[in-house]
């Protein structure tokens, strides 16, 4: 049994914020104004939210949820644990993880002290892109279970104080979706205009030069219509035509199907790809010196263009506002958008706001660039461009190499895993943490013959695909890792077994227990969850900033390097070192901060 006492203490109880307010001095109009803002899910200032939450509600260690008025804004400062269902836990021995398997492991997730789970696609699909090619938006694929299993997952997660977010793949479907079967059959059927169809040029070539992310032209010929259809990803993932008003209406109905089942949030996959340029203008060529993208490599033809016309069109803004109006009918439900555009930070700033998405993230910190300066510049740029909104940060997910390897190399210190998790969880914003990051798992080496990812197969060996971060979770340190009684869909790497949960559970210095300690400590630091952020001028490899809220200032300095560092602190007031976070802690000698390798210094600033 994994830390049962810990998650038991986080369950919902009947103490309400109204009860708490009744115990405070009466006549506080400011408190009630903040209550009204939060209850209506509008954008109260972060300081107001923090004061209100801290003043009226217990911390989560004693009370999982307060009442609807603060629960509606649970996503601000939340840590969201991403579960890739295929690789989390197999319950029936078929080698593929499933929804009942996730339920079996919810005790473990709750013991991490995260706020929510994000479950990657489990919808009915031919699995050409492992669930991101949906053939039925309202059905669970049999390999993952049934709708009853999903309902039970929501109930069991809520019982443990965990919110539930799910993926929604809106811009495209599977080629096996009934809509596409009908659409491709002729030019006159009722679904004829539900996908993006275009006539060929006079020489029979595609209508323009658009390239697909997974390589090659973004158009495929359909002989029955004598037209091309658009696919921004695989050719088995045809793009929907959102310019047809029936399409966004149908997708919102699909979204509401899951809202009615009690979810707490949605992660909107590739949300800036819904609309295309109706004039089908060619994308401009990109100079070789600029062919460095986020989510694709320079040897991919996709990198050879500025993607001005195949995504991120102005019509998408009105659709996001329709999404928000629907979500606002379900208080407390939040939308997180995935953004990949020519100017991802600018698109995030445009897409997030009171009437659009609650938060968004991009691939800016999912690259191989590992410098304190890059992290600082990225966060500062977004802070400047999106002062009205709330960011979400992630340094690992199911699409990129695991961060310990990507940023630390093949022989990274185990301390690095906990340091990086603490660093991203200390930035202003919410955080998505990918399964296995709490264990410090490195990227797995998957041989070509075992690859399943079509992206990796197409670009091998320069790009080895995404399978290395998708291998099954190692629960025990024996062959197979306790993931499945059968043959797993991807091999369980031998190098992951020493990092198995069973091995780390009883080691107080393990990355797993370091992750747990830090999140418990963070929960008691309102400034780290909601405060304003200001970066300090520090030399590489040091990243330093202050978080400020209600007169409290917390300093965080992170040594991203493997050697001890010391630096003068550019602060006016004295600092007091704060411990209890569980990381390798630095010290302050006068005005000089001294940090061990991969260490951190947290302090209060007077």
Would you name the residues annotated as active-site residues?
A: 269, 338
The candidate with the shortest Cα–Cα distance to 130, out of 564, 432, 451, is 451
Rg (CA), the chain: 24
417 dihedral zone (left: phi>0; alpha: psi -120 to 50; beta): alpha
- With CA atoms as reference, report the closest residue to 556 among 526, 599, 524, 596: 599
Instruction: Please report the sign of the dihedral spanned by the C-alpha atoms of residue 433, residue 437, residue 439, residue 444.
Output: positive
- Cα dihedral sign for 241, 356, 430, 391? positive
- Secondary structure, 3-state, 450-493: HCCCHHHHHHCCCCCCCHHHCCCCCCCCCCCCCCCCCCCCCCCC
Backbone angles phi, psi at 237, to 5 degrees: -125, 70
The answer to whether 73 and 118 have CB atoms below 8 angstroms apart is: no
User: How many whole angstroms separate alpha carbon 439 and alpha carbon 139?
Assistant: 32
* CA atoms 368, 374, 379, 382: torsion sign: negative
Q: Collapsing DSSP states into helix, strand and coil, what is residue 228?
A: strand
The CB density around residue 30, as the number of other CB atoms within 10 Å, is 10
Q: Rounded to whole angstroms, how far apart are CA atoms 431 and 117? A: 11
DSSP class of residue 160? T
The sign of the dihedral angle between the CA atoms of 17, 19, 23, 25 is: positive
DSSP structure string for 237-251: SPBB-TTSTHHHHHH
Sheet of 542-549, strand order: 532-535, 542-549, 552-559, 600-605, 575-577
CA distance 90 to 88: 7
What is the rounded distance in angstroms from the CA atom of residue 561 to the CA atom of residue 275?
Answer: 43
Strands, E assignment, 404-485: 430-434
């Amino acid at each position: 049994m994994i830390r049962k006492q810990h998650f038991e203490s986080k369950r919902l109880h009947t103490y309400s914020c109204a009860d708490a307010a009744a115990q405070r001095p009466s006549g506080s109009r400011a408190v009630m104004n903040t209550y009204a803002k939060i209850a209506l899910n509008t954008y109260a200032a972060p300081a107001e939210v923090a004061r209100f939450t801290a003043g009226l509600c217990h911390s989560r260690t004693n009370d999982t949820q307060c009442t609807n008025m603060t629960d509606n804004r649970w996503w601000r400062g939340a840590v969201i644990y991403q579960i890739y269902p295929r690789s989390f836990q197999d319950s029936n021995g078929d080698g593929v993880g499933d929804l009942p398997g996730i339920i079996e492991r919810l005790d473990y997730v709750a013991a991490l002290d995260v706020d929510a789970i994000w479950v990657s696609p489990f919808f009915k699909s031919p699995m050409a892109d492992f669930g991101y090619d949906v053939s039925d938006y309202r059905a669970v694929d049999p390999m993952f279970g049934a709708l009853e299993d999903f309902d039970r997952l929501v109930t069991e997660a809520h019982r443990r104080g965990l919110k539930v977010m799910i993926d929604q793949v809106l811009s495209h479907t599977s080629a096996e979706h009934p809509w596409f079967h009908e659409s491709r059959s002729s030019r006159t059927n009722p679904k004829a205009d539900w996908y993006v169809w275009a006539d060929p040029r006079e020489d029979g070539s595609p209508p323009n030069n658009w390239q697909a992310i997974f390589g090659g032209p973004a158009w495929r010929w359909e002989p029955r219509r004598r037209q091309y259809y658009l696919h921004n990803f695989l050719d088995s993932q045809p793009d929907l035509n959102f310019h047809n008003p029936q399409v966004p209406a149908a997708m919102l109905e699909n979204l509401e199907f899951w809202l009615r089942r009690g979810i707490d949030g949605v992660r909107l996959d590739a949300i800036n790809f819904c609309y295309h340029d109706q004039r089908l203008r060619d994308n401009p060529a990109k100079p070789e010196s600029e062919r460095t993208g986020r989510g694709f490599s320079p040897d991919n033809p996709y990198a050879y263009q500025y993607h001005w016309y195949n995504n991120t069109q102005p019509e998408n803004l009105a659709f996001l506002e329709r999404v928000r109006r629907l979500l606002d009918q379900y208080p407390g439900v939040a939308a997180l958008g995935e953004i990949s555009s020519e100017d991802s930070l600018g698109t995030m700033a445009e897409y997030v706001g009171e009437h659009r998405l609650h938060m968004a993230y991009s691939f800016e910190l999912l690259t191989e660039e590992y410098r304190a300066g890059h992290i600082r510049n990225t966060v500062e740029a977004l802070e400047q461009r999106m002062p009205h909104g709330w960011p979400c940060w992630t340094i690992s997910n199911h699409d990129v190499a695991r961060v310990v390897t990507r940023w630390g190399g093949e022989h990274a210190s185990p301390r690095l895993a906990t340091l990086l998790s603490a660093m991203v969880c200390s930035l202003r914003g919410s955080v998505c943490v990918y399964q296995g990051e709490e264990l410090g798992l490195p990227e797995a080496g998957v041989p070509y013959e075992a690859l399943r990812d079509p992206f990796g197969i197409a670009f091998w060996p320069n790009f080895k695909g995404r399978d290395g971060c998708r291998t099954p979770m190692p629960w025990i340190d024996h062959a197979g890792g306790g993931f499945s009684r059968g043959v797993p869909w991807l091999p369980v790497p031998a190098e992951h077994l020493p990092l198995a949960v069973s091995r780390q559970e009883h080691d107080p210095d393990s990355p797993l227990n370091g992750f747990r300690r830090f999140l418990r400590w963070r929960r008691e630091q309102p400034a780290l969850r909601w405060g304003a952020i200001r970066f300090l001028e520090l030399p590489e490899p040091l990243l330093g900033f202050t978080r400020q809220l209600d007169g409290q200032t917390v300093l965080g300095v992170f040594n991203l390097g493997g050697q001890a560092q010391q630096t003068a602190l550019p602060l006016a007031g004295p600092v007091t070192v704060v411990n209890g976070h569980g990381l390798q802690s630095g010290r302050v000698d006068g005005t000089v901060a001294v940090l061990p390798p991969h260490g951190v210094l947290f302090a209060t600033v007077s």
